[in-house]
Amino acid sequence: MPFSMKNTSFINFKSLYLNKKIIFNDETGFTLVEIIVVIVIMGILGQIGIFSFNRYMRKTRAFAARTALRKIQRECETNRDLGMDPVFTLLGINSYSIETSNTNSCLGEINSGLVSAIPDLPNKYPSYSYDYSEGKIECLYNNTSDNLFKDCISLKSKLESNDFVVKETYVRRGCSNYVWVDGPSWSEAQAQALKIGGNLATINDKEENDFLMNKFKKEALNHMKPSPLSPNDGEGHVLLHIGLTTTTEADPDQPTIPLKGSNKGWISGESSSFRPDYWGVCNQLACGMGTKTDGTGVHTSMIHNYKSEEFGTPVHSANNWNDSPNPIGLGLAEIPVPGCK
């Protein structure tokens, strides 16, 4: 039979097929373990991509809400300068709603005076508020476990994220922030106050003393302990350690009695000569000298005394300072506001 190109092609194809078959038979494929590892890695990379995308979308939507509030601010202040009505153009914001009085008033809600951008998911997005009278925009985010909007997390939320801080006790007055911290001893309470950038409180005047006493009356009821002097008649007390320590400025004629008008002795190093009128009056236990810095000796606390309605008597309080020896209680921490004068 004559040799033809057709037969040559068949021979070449057959030879190629046999060679490839040998090659394929010599190679090994992926093992089951390798396949599983590849799938796991692909899954992890996919999750990272989804996580990053979700964070990007959250930042984008929050940025859009802040931008919208800035546009509202510009429009409101322009209208004010031109003598026009204090209203703004209401626009929709993805994942947010605008809250104000009369739908689009620059004057804000009646109670707060704020125009607010409120997120549909407050645990995922910060809220923004515009104060027309002050010309300020502020943000607030209470999810302390998420650092995506850490600049918007309030000091209250930051402080109360600590296990040793008593929840819902934060208050600000002037240039000081106050919060309750765990004790039970004076030394332990002071150590907790230091952890959050403060000290046990320095009481500067009667107004500050009365403000703090009145502010914490209701909260003190939640921590009331039976009085050791009358455990069954409904009386109770709460001790809040403050920062007054033993001072060497004693009365030269009576060394066990503190010198009236002394401004020393506060653990913060601040100067304050304020003492209650009854402070320094001697009794069988002490003469109002405060506590030693190591927590030993007599101790200074603000005390809330109560009677409970549960015993058929009306709730009332008698607030004072006390320096009974080493009682246990909570601490009143004071954290200065940076840059405030």
Q: What CA–CA distance (Å, rounded) separates 176 from 287?
A: 29
| Rounded to 5°, angle at Cα 131 from 142 and 92 | 75
Instruction: Examine the pLDDT at 294 and tell me if it is beyond 60.
Output: no
Instruction: Examine the pLDDT at 94 and tell me if it is beyond 80.
Output: yes
Overall average pLDDT of the 262-274 stretch: 77
Of 218, 219, 178, 214, the residue nearest 199 (C-alpha)? 178
Instruction: Kindly state whether residues 106 and 241 are assigned to the same domain.
Output: no
Specify the CATH number for the domain of residue 341: 3.10.100.10
Domain that holds residue 162: 155-341
Q: For residue 216, what pLDDT is reported?
A: 83
Q: What CA–CA distance (Å, rounded) separates 246 from 243?
A: 10
Q: pLDDT: is 21 or 337 the higher one?
A: 337
Instruction: Kindly state whether residues 124 and 257 are assigned to the same domain.
Output: no
Instruction: Examine the pLDDT at 78 and tell me if it is beyond 90.
Output: yes
Q: Within a domain: residue 133?
A: yes
Structure confidence by residue, pLDDT tens digits, 98-146: 999 988 999 999 888 899 999 999 889 989 999 998 898 988 887 877 7
Specify whether the CB–CB gap between 117 and 96 falls below 8 A.
Answer: yes
Dihedral over Cα of 269, 273, 275, 278: its sign: positive
Q: For residue 298, what pLDDT is reported?
A: 52
**Structure tokens given for 279:** 């402070």
Of 7, 78, 231, 107, the residue nearest 99 (C-alpha)? 107
Specify whether the CB–CB gap between 215 and 256 falls below 8 A.
Answer: no
Instruction: Kindly state whether residues 149 and 286 are assigned to the same domain.
Output: no
Domain end: 128, 153, 178, which one?
153
Instruction: Examine the pLDDT at 21 and tell me if it is beyond 80.
Output: no
Q: For residue 163, what pLDDT is reported?
A: 93
User: Kind and range of the H or E element at 118?
Assistant: strand 114-119
Q: What CA–CA distance (Å, rounded) separates 298 from 320?
A: 16
Q: For residue 291, what pLDDT is reported?
A: 45
Q: For residue 141, what pLDDT is reported?
A: 86
Structure confidence by residue, pLDDT tens digits, 321-332: 776 666 678 899
**Do you find a cis peptide bond into 184, omega within 30 degrees of 0?**
yes
Report CA-CA distances (Å) from 112 to 116, 173, 175, 335. Answer: 10, 19, 22, 26
pLDDT band at residue 77 under the 50/70/90 scheme: very high
Overall average pLDDT of the 266-287 stretch: 68
Q: Within a domain: residue 34?
A: no
Q: For residue 305, what pLDDT is reported?
A: 60
Q: For residue 29, what pLDDT is reported?
A: 59
Structure confidence by residue, pLDDT tens digits, 145-157: 777 888 888 888 8
Overall average pLDDT of the 74-98 stretch: 93
Instruction: Kindly state whether residues 205 and 143 are assigned to the same domain.
Output: no
Instruction: Kindly state whether residues 137 and 286 are assigned to the same domain.
Output: no
Domain count, the chain: 2
pLDDT band at residue 180 under the 50/70/90 scheme: very high
Q: For residue 67, what pLDDT is reported?
A: 92
Q: For residue 317, what pLDDT is reported?
A: 47
Instruction: Kindly state whether residues 94 and 159 are assigned to the same domain.
Output: no
Overall average pLDDT of the 293-300 stretch: 52
Which percentage of the chain shows pLDDT scores above 70?
Answer: 66
Helix, strand, coil content of the chain in percent (nearest 5)? 30, 25, 45
Instruction: Kindly state whether residues 167 and 126 are assigned to the same domain.
Output: no
Instruction: Examine the pLDDT at 199 and tell me if it is beyond 90.
Output: yes
Q: Within a domain: residue 239?
A: yes
Q: Within a domain: residue 215?
A: yes
Structure confidence by residue, pLDDT tens digits, 10-20: 445 455 455 55
DSSP SS3 for 181: strand
pLDDT band at residue 3 under the 50/70/90 scheme: very low
